[in-house]
Amino acid sequence: MCGIVGFTGTRPASPILIEGLKRLEYRGYDSAGVAVEEGSRIQVVCRTGKISTLEQSLAQFSLTGPCGIGHTRWATHGTPSEVNAHPHLSCDGKIAIVHNGIIENHEELRRILEGRGHTFTSQTDSEVIVHLIEDAYSMLAFDSSEEDDLADAEGARRPHTPTSELAAGKPSLLAQAVSMACGFLIGSWAICVMTEYEPGKIVCARKESPLVIGRGAAGVHVASDVAALADLVGEVAVLADGQIAELAPHGFVVFGSHDDELIRVRPETMKLSGRSDTADRGQYADFMLKEIYEQPRVIRDTLEGRFDGGELTIEELGLTHEELNLIDRVYLIACGTSYHASLVAKNLIEGWARIPCEVEVASEFRYRNPIVTPSTLVVAVSQSGETADTLAAIRDARIKGAKVFGITNVLGSPVARESDGVIYTKANKEVAVASTKSFTGQLVSLTLLAMLLAQSKGRLKQGQMRLLFRELASTAAQAEQILKDTERVHQAALASKDAKSAMFIGRGMGAAVAEEGALKLKEVSYLHAEAYPAGEMKHGPIALIEPGFPVIAVATESPTYEKVLSNIQEAKARGAMVVAVATEGDERISEHADEVIYIPKIRDAFSPITAIIPLQLLARDIALLRGCNIDQPRNLAKSVTVE
């Protein structure tokens, strides 16, 4: 979703901002803009569409100023357009802001501000922030000039420059004005602000939306995502909720709020690897394909070092066997693909550990009153680690006293920081909006968690654990084998590409794989797809089937294989074009399905890890045949940071 970058230093800001925005492109956006201090003025340039369009426009302006802020916008309030794109300016054009998040009370604030004479130029919720800051600033500036007059009279007036304020550790007028303005906001925000009144300075504030700050060779950088800062800074300060940061060309300070006073605090810091995974898609045509092919590596990396000495260990969870043994209920909370990985895990946790497990979409969980007690384990699964609904669910669960684990792909992400323990999925940066390799990382991590719970409950003995672990590890080689021959997938794509709609079916583990397969197809090819547990088909969805209608069946070897085969025949009898994902050696299936994609034989518990691969490839292949943008599907954002 929206992305923020900012820079103040000794080099022209504009190219640095553009480079940062490009690194955030993967998050999804529909317009972009920058504000750069040019001489004594703030120059704003916004464009709809791609960053490259903004970059071309900027070339005409020849901006050289060394301080600026930039933004990619994913429209929530107001259409994607230049007027709604950030940065937004105050009425006098002297203050500029960029904002990530949602201001829930924006309508009320807009009414009040308009009543006070402010003129709005956009339909966004964000614009209220800059007008609030404008009011707060003029009030504080008035008070301060009164004080300065007094100090002048006493011969004690101090110079009013950003650097001297930073050195003194005192908040500037802008920082105070931002802090005051935030006091009126309800919702979530990460904001960066600059003003002509205080050249060379950027003030940042956050609540629930991330912001990180780092010192580089040419100045100080701020961004909403560390991806924008890789290679530029070695370490970042992670701004916490309620903190305000003030950036100047040679350093930055962070303030916390105590009794309405801004007091300097030491921020939490995080080292960066210095590697930007976003840059290179290598030999692959798109990131989605590259990431699909990375899955064998993800499986190996996620398993590495987990089963040394004959026992499964996940130290990051920070719980003893005894504490794990006390857990009597598990909630898996997630959205989208992460939700589908959780559906698989429910079967494993209940099957192996015999602990009741519920899987819930985070946006529902947060508004219910679920039964959560101190012996409940809440597992938040999120690739990005910053999904707003999942974060809200974590907070809610913690208030209710539950232990919360995060399963995430992003080091130091809000999910990681706000959970009691965290498992990293080792997928490395996922750039394509459609999740593929992170699904695999989640499946493997959740499988380990299920095994650990079963081990702690004494339900799985050492020998069984060893056997399971060995089989789990073998999925890496199997994934490689599947990826070597994709011809049958391509045939299935050709047979399905002109359809208007498709149905995915499966049972047990296969039902969760079907859900994820349908989501992939919808996301990247815009072909309508639904997933049903195969047994549900005759309770309604079968009415959709007509000659040529694609039914994609997950029919791998499992206790319900015969049932799935019957469902395939029911679909076939009504003219469906059936594509089946089946286990090597299954000859019966080819009598009933039009296209069969074989995968190697594997235990049912682990079959989702390999069965999903042909469906990921199928979705991408169909999307290519339909001429879609594979990595950045329309309307979608990689990180869903608003509700």
Q: Which residues are catalytic?
A: 2, 638
- In whole angstroms, how close is the CB of 120 to ligand AGP at the nearest point? 31
Q: Which stretch, 14-22, 190-198, 433-441, 480-488, contacts ligand AGP (CB under 6 A)?
A: 433-441
Q: Decide if residue 419 touches ligand AGP (CB under 6 A).
A: no
CB of 387 or CB of 455, closer to ligand AGP = 387
Q: Decide if residue 224 touches ligand AGP (CB under 6 A).
A: no
Q: Decide if residue 345 touches ligand AGP (CB under 6 A).
A: no
Give the residue among 276, 193, 175, 190 at the shortest CA–CA distance from 239. 190
Torsion angle, CA of 111/113/115/120, rounded to 10 degrees?
-80
Give the residue among 472, 465, 484 at the shortest CA–CA distance from 441. 472
Q: Decide if residue 640 touches ligand AGP (CB under 6 A).
A: yes
Q: How far is CA 539 from CA 15, 288, 494, 534, 544, in A?
A: 58, 35, 29, 10, 11
Q: Binding string, 523-542, against ligand AGP, x = CB under 6 A?
A: x-------------------
Q: Which stretch, 39-47, 224-232, 336-344, 557-565, contacts ligand AGP (CB under 6 A)?
A: 336-344
CB of 224 or CB of 435, closer to ligand AGP = 435
CB of 6 or CB of 414, closer to ligand AGP = 414
CB of 95 or CB of 288, closer to ligand AGP = 288
Are 565 and 590 contacting, i.e. CB atoms less than 8 angstroms apart?
Answer: no
Please, which of residues 374-393 interact with ligand AGP by CB under 6 A?
A: 382-384, 387, 390
Q: Decide if residue 195 touches ligand AGP (CB under 6 A).
A: no
Identify the residue among 435, 486, 610, 632 touching ligand AGP (CB under 6 A): 435
Q: Decide if residue 43 touches ligand AGP (CB under 6 A).
A: no
- In whole angstroms, how close is the CB of 291 to ligand AGP at the nearest point? 11
- In whole angstroms, how close is the CB of 639 to ligand AGP at the nearest point? 6
- In whole angstroms, how close is the CB of 39 to ligand AGP at the nearest point? 42
Phi, psi (5° rounding) for residue 199? -60, 145
CB of 136 or CB of 434, closer to ligand AGP = 434
Nearest-5° angle of CA 464, CA 468, CA 474? 150
CB of 27 or CB of 106, closer to ligand AGP = 27
DSSP 350: I
Q: Decide if residue 335 touches ligand AGP (CB under 6 A).
A: yes
> Three-state DSSP class for 421?
strand
DSSP string computed for 189-243: EEEEEEETTSTT-EEEEEEBS--EEEE-SSEEEEESSGGGTTTT-SEEEEPPTT-
Q: Decide if residue 209 touches ligand AGP (CB under 6 A).
A: no
> Three-state DSSP class for 459?
coil
Q: In 531-581, where does DSSP find H-type helix?
A: 561-573
Are 474 and 373 contacting, i.e. CB atoms less than 8 angstroms apart?
Answer: no
> Three-state DSSP class for 36?
strand
- In whole angstroms, how close is the CB of 207 to ligand AGP at the nearest point? 19
* Strand arrangement of the beta sheet that strand 31-38 belongs to: 41-48, 31-38, 67-73, 3-9, 219-223, 212-215, 235-238, 268-271
Q: Decide if residue 66 touches ligand AGP (CB under 6 A).
A: no
Q: Count Cβ atoms below 10 Å from residue 57 Cβ, excluding itself.
A: 14
Q: Decide if residue 336 touches ligand AGP (CB under 6 A).
A: yes
Q: Decide if residue 595 touches ligand AGP (CB under 6 A).
A: no
Distance in angstroms (rounded) separating the CA atoms of residues 45 and 49 = 13
CB of 338 or CB of 475, closer to ligand AGP = 338
CB of 215 or CB of 522, closer to ligand AGP = 522
- In whole angstroms, how close is the CB of 224 to ligand AGP at the nearest point? 14
What is the 3-class SS of 361-382, one letter each residue? EHHHHCCCCCCCCCCEEEEEEE
- In whole angstroms, how close is the CB of 383 to ligand AGP at the nearest point? 3
Q: How far is CA 82 from CA 3, 24, 305, in A?
A: 16, 19, 51
Say how many residues touch ligand AGP, by CB under 6 A.
Answer: 15
Q: Which stretch, 188-196, 394-402, 431-439, 550-558, contacts ligand AGP (CB under 6 A)?
A: 431-439
Q: Decide if residue 406 touches ligand AGP (CB under 6 A).
A: no
Q: Which stretch, 44-52, 332-340, 446-454, 526-534, contacts ligand AGP (CB under 6 A)?
A: 332-340
Distance in angstroms (rounded) separating the CA atoms of residues 260 and 239 = 18
Distance in angstroms (rounded) separating the CA atoms of residues 85 and 74 = 9
Identify the residue among 90, 337, 445, 610 touching ligand AGP (CB under 6 A): 337
Q: Count Cβ atoms below 10 Å from residue 377 Cβ, excluding itself.
A: 28
Distance in angstroms (rounded) separating the CA atoms of residues 383 and 337 = 9
Residue ranges binding ligand AGP (CB under 6 A): 335-338, 382-384, 387, 390, 433-435, 523, 639-640
